Amino acid sequence: MVYIKYVYPLKMEKINLFMGDNLSNINKDRLVEALVKQIKIAVTTLPDDVKTAIKNAYNRERNPVAKKILSSIIENFSLAEDHGIPMCQDTGTITWFIKVGKEFPLVTELSQLLIKATKIATDRVPIRPNAVDPFTGKNSGDNTGRFIPWINWEVTDGDEAEITVLPKGGGSEYTAQLRMVSPGLGIKGIKEAVLKTVFEAGGKPCPPIIVGVGIGGGADIAMKLGKLALLRPITERHENPQVARLEEELYNELNSLGIGPMGLGGDTTVLGVNVEYAYRHPATLPVGIVTQCWAARRATIKVSSDGEIKVLSHSIDNIFEINLLGD
């Protein structure tokens, strides 16, 4: 098949990231290489939970047009995975989520390495340049620019780093909403906000979608929590049983809207609903609703204290064995 030739080859060899007997000897270039591969995994291979959810939706779906769309989505993501090509031409805005131990030796340099990996990945995976100056309209060409890629930091104990990349497409980000609900309306008000947002989004975010809902905190915090909720596999319910119940109820209610795959009707409107919350101010109940297309791309790696890199989001044993060439 011709299109395989389009993928820019990156020569890979199996090499240990760990160059000495402690992490301070991490070879920075090798870490950048691992991060480039992490982006490659994210844009070419769906996480297991999303794949399973799409396949289950296909089996359940009764609407023939919807079933056809779901089967072509499955064909598309299998093709992308098998040949190492991006599953969608919109490879999104690159956003990193970092949980870094205080003792992690590269803590001060990590953000520079993430930016470097983002630039290299643009050319080598390849991913589409999606960083545009809002004032001049100029595309930087390498997915970086002021504050982009956006990096979220969480400092933890220990000497490990857990690194997640979320390349989220523009079509699904376009339909995200913040709704300030009257606190008196309680859970019912939250549900109404989510239902109306998904209804208004219709076919635009490329359903079936995953909905991340952030509740409380404040306007900015609710939106951030909605996005953080998308990092959790859709097969896992929230640890708080009340929140878990809200997730399940919303899942059923949203699917009874009948929007269906690509907004053409059907049983499958959402693949999952993940809720995260913070305590709220007595006078406000912010609800941040983040819509995520079916191509819910994310990849997480862990750089542990013994120099080993593990892929947590995908069943891949050794990140250095991934062939960037495709097949």
Partner 1 sequence: MSEYHLKTPISEEEIRKLRVKDIIYISGTVITARDQAHRRAVEYKEKNKEIPVKFEGNVLYHCGPIALKRNNKWMIVAAGPTTSTRMEYIEHKFIEYFKPRVIVGKGGMKEKTLDALARYGAVYTIFPGGLGALAAKSIKKVVKVEWLDLGTPEAMWVLEVEEFGPLIVTMDTHGQSIHKEIKTKTLENLNQIISNL
Site residues (CB under 8 A) for partner 1? Answer: 1-3, 5-7, 64-65, 68-69, 72-73, 75-77, 79-80, 83, 85-90, 126, 128, 169, 171, 188, 191-192, 195-196, 199, 202-204, 206, 253, 256-265, 293-295
State which residue, 5 or 62, has the beta carbon closest to partner 1: 5
In the complex, the smallest distance separating the C-beta of residue 128 from partner 1, rounded to whole angstroms, is 5
In the complex, the smallest distance separating the C-beta of residue 151 from partner 1, rounded to whole angstroms, is 25
State which residue, 7 or 26, has the beta carbon closest to partner 1: 7
In the complex, the smallest distance separating the C-beta of residue 9 from partner 1, rounded to whole angstroms, is 11
In the complex, the smallest distance separating the C-beta of residue 191 from partner 1, rounded to whole angstroms, is 6
State which residue, 17 or 230, has the beta carbon closest to partner 1: 230
The b-or-e profile of 251-262 (16+ CB within 10 A means b, else e) is bebbbeeebbbb
Asked whether 204 and 197 are in contact (CB, 8 A), the reply is no
In the complex, the smallest distance separating the C-beta of residue 267 from partner 1, rounded to whole angstroms, is 12
State which residue, 10 or 278, has the beta carbon closest to partner 1: 10
State which residue, 292 or 313, has the beta carbon closest to partner 1: 292
State which residue, 192 or 308, has the beta carbon closest to partner 1: 192
In the complex, the smallest distance separating the C-beta of residue 71 from partner 1, rounded to whole angstroms, is 9
SS3 labels along the chain? CHHHHHCCCCCCCCCCCCCCCCHHHCCHHHHHHHHHHHHHHHHHCCCHHHHHHHHHHHHHCCCHHHHHHHHHHHHHHHHHHHHCCCCCCCCCEEEEEEEEECCCCCCCCHHHHHHHHHHHHHHHCCCCCCCECCCCCCECCCCCECCECEEEEEEECCCCEEEEEEEECHHHHCCCEEEEECHHHHHHHHHHHHHHHHHHHCCCCCCCEEEEEEECCCHHHHHHHHHHHCCCCCCCCCCCHHHHHHHHHHHHHHHCCCCCHHHCCCCCCEEEEEEEECCCCCCCEEEEEEEECCCCCCEEEEECCCCCEEECCCCCCCHHHCCCCCC
In the complex, the smallest distance separating the C-beta of residue 327 from partner 1, rounded to whole angstroms, is 13
State which residue, 72 or 240, has the beta carbon closest to partner 1: 72
In the complex, the smallest distance separating the C-beta of residue 118 from partner 1, rounded to whole angstroms, is 17
Q: What are residue 178's DSSP bridge partners?
A: 288
State which residue, 253 or 308, has the beta carbon closest to partner 1: 253
